[in-house]
Structure 1
Amino acid sequence: MTKLITAFALFVITLLSAQGQAPTTETKVSKFEQGMGKAFELWEEEKDSEASDGFERIAAVETTNWLPNYYVALVNTTTAFRTKDKEKINSLLSKAQNALDVEMIKDQNNAELYVMQAMINTAWIVFDPMTNGQKLSGPTIEIYNKALAIDPNNPRVVFSKAEFEIGGAKFWGQDTKPMCTQIDKAIELFATFKPETAFSPKWGLDRALIAQKNCK
């Protein structure tokens, strides 16, 4: 389980470098784009609480756009991975779950939201593996399977599922080769993946390359 915790600590670092950057453009931008860009800047500066608040304010206005609440969940979940205080983790993951629930009610056909739910579950497992490991491991695999059924060519789905399964396989002393094959596949998918918008999720490749190296 220590290996799993270390893996997700590295994952958070690489995620921030890949996703936590404000898209830049020389063209006139909307208030939504300005707000999102500012929130990303705060996140990149490791001002997690301020970034979360920024995304939350945008979500309150842009009620038909799933991305602001997605990032509320993502910021708070990645912060929880780096936190040891039980009360803070409860607060962070509760905020993440509440934001995600808002979007899941609207749309049960978004693979990125399922990956986000699996990440929240994983944060709980990493925090208290003895209590939450058995309770959440099975449901988390089911969540990944749902995401895979919705979007089998999404590299984050393929990679995140494989890495989660590797953590479990190492814990139980099982063969990780099938998961490593899926990580190879995810890297191929990253090469052709195109985010729908400048703010759509694009994280994962850096961590997948590290995971691929560890596989070898």
Structure 2
Amino acid sequence: MRKYLLSFALAFMSLTAFAQADYEKIMAEKIAKTETSKTAEEFQTLTNDFQRIGSKESSKWLPPYYAAFSQIQKGRLLMRKGNMQELDEIAGQADKYLSSAQNLAGADNAEIHLLRKMAASLRMMVNPAQRYMTDGAKATEELDIAEKLDPSNPRVALIKAEDIYFTPEQYGGSKTKGMEMSKEALAKFNAYKPKTTLDPNWGRTELEYFISMSSK
């Protein structure tokens, strides 16, 4: 009986290890695609992929986190093209995924608060004049929380630099200051090490492109 129980335990451990390896492989492949996707359709496909992974791995916070991230990247892409009519719906979907991620990871996760900031910013851009005091304030609040939780986070520094750079001077923005902050963000990227291979590590490519374009 003892031998049978030992064999069963070893078999269960092997299956669990295999499932974990399979999960990490699939997640790594999908996360890599968040860096190479260039269309709204590709980001929507990634959102759906991460959602399916999350339905199978319901105890892990990273699948809903990356589903939210993919939605936000879709929204940022549409925003840059001047397509604002879908941003409310996109931000709502991102917030739904972020609520799931936060329920699993806890309230003190800087990465989740940073994405909440980015979702609120998308909402604000639908009508900045009307929404600055609501969604704009929410974005500022979430960014402040993220920075307090993880001051060395390079993604927080990246988003702060972009905000300053693209904000008109009459509202407190500065291209010079934004560029200085972007270089500080790059230094943080150089020193940063994610906790695991799947933990958030996005932003360096965007930052380096931003610096190169702004320097021309």
Q: Would the TM-score normalized by the shorter structure come out above 0.5? A: yes
Cα 1:149–1:206 change in 2 (3 A) is: same
Residue 102 of structure 2 is aligned to residue 68 of structure 1: no
* TM-score using structure 2 length: 0.73
Q: Which runs of 5+ in 1 are unaligned?
A: 1-27
Which amino acid counterpart does residue 98 of structure 1 have in structure 2?
K
Aligned residue pairs: how many?
188
Counterpart in 2 of 1:10?
A: none
Query: 3-state SS of the aligned residue for 2:183?
Result: helix
Are the equivalent residues in 1 in contact too, given 2:164–2:173 (CA < 8 A)?
A: no
> In 2, Cα distance between the equivalents of 1:159 and 1:186?
6
Cα 1:61–1:138 change in 2 (3 A) is: same
Residue 186 of structure 2 is aligned to residue 193 of structure 1: no
Query: 3-state SS of the aligned residue for 1:109?
Result: coil
Cα 1:207–1:34 change in 2 (3 A) is: closer
Residue 93 of structure 2 is aligned to residue 98 of structure 1: no
Query: 3-state SS of the aligned residue for 1:200?
Result: coil
Provide, for residues 170-214 of structure 1, a one-character-per-residue CA deviation record: whole Å limited to 9, x for no partner. 362654544443322211111121122222222212332344452
Q: Which runs of 5+ in 2 are unaligned?
A: 1-17
Per-residue deviation, 1:96: 1.0
Q: CA RMSD in A?
A: 2.7
Identity between Structure 1 and Structure 2 (%): 21
Counterpart in 2 of 1:208?
A: 207
Q: Rg: which structure is higher?
A: 2
Higher relative contact order (CA closer than 8 Å, sequence separation 6+):
1
For residue 30 of structure 1, the aligned residue among 21, 30, 35 is: 21
> In 1, Cα distance between the equivalents of 2:127 and 2:174?
24
Provide, for residues 84-126 of structure 1, a one-character-per-residue CA deviation record: whole Å limited to 9, x for no partner. 262x434322221100011223411111111111111122223
Counterpart in 2 of 1:118?
A: 117
